[in-house]
């Protein structure tokens, strides 16, 4: 059970990083569009 909990935590961290990446990428595209 502990192993599953650790795996879920890793997945959540990956999802958080992906969310940050998407937010940064969106901001980058918006800044290009504004120019």
Distance between CA 15 and CA 28 in Å, rounded?
20
- Report yes or no on whether pTM surpasses 0.75: no
Distance between CA 30 and CA 20 in Å, rounded?
15
Distance between CA 4 and CA 14 in Å, rounded?
15
pLDDT tens digit string along 1-26? Answer: 678 888 999 999 999 999 999 999 99
SS3 call for 35: coil
What is the pLDDT, as a whole number, of residue 28? Answer: 96
CA 24 to the chain's CA centroid: 9
């Amino acid at each position: 059970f502990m192993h599953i909990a650790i795996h879920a935590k890793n997945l959540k961290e990956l999802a958080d990083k992906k969310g940050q990446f998407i937010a940064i990428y969106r901001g980058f595209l918006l800044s290009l569009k504004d120019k």
